[in-house]
Amino acid sequence: MSNTKTATRFSVGVMTRIAILAAIASILFLIEIPIVAFYKLDLSDIPVLLGAFSMGAVPGLVILALKSAIGLLHSSSAGVGELADFIMGAALVIPAALVYHRKKSRKSAIIGMVIGTLFMTVFAVLVNKFIMLPFYMGAFHMDMDGILSFANVTGVDSEWKLLLLITAPFNLLKGAVLCVVTGLIYKPLSPLLHGKIK
């Protein structure tokens, strides 16, 4: 009986933390900082990383999925942007969490986040090429020249230049910002994230 109660409390505690982190992520998802062309930086994957580090990759993915699902309520891309965000977020979070949970240390957290950032950057290029750019060209009846004109970046005059000179560096920057902030606040928030404050 005691073990059952403990398991139930643990499950409820985990679900509560998942819900709180998903709510925070959803709010941060709405706050975007323009960086270059049509790319904007948001910090919504920080709560996802915090959840993945404290509870594991699966709870992290649940937080990410909830954030994306809530994002559908105010989507301006018929859900395509939220799908792309989920794919790229998963590419960051899964490697970071798996590496960290193999050996929980500051070094493994840093290595995991670096690997995750590299994965996210690769997936961002692929997602933009095969999902986002085709969607926006179809939605706004533009060809690639129209997209490049809209991006309005000097010297970027082809799809691959856009992907390799803008998309990839932007996502490396985004990953760096997410990982630095997560690294700075994880330890101070660790008791809350592990449900150790009563």
Work out the pLDDT band at 74, boundaries 50, 70, 90. Answer: confident
Write the CA distances from 30 to 74, 75, 122, 128, 140, integer angstroms: 9, 10, 24, 20, 23
> What is the DSSP secondary structure assignment for residue 129, as one 8-state letter?
I
Q: Are 124 and 88 in contact (CB under 8 A)?
A: yes
pLDDT of 4 strictly over 70: no
Write the CA distances from 50 to 10, 38, 47, 53, 131, integer angstroms: 18, 27, 5, 5, 28
Q: What is the mean pLDDT of residues 146-159?
A: 93
pLDDT of 147 strictly over 90: yes
Nearest-angstrom CA–CA distance, 113 and 52:
11
Q: How far is CA 160 from the centre of its chain?
A: 23
Q: Whole-prediction pTM value?
A: 0.90
Q: What is the mean pLDDT of residues 121-127?
A: 98
Nearest-angstrom CA–CA distance, 130 and 143:
14
Q: What is the mean pLDDT of residues 101-127?
A: 96
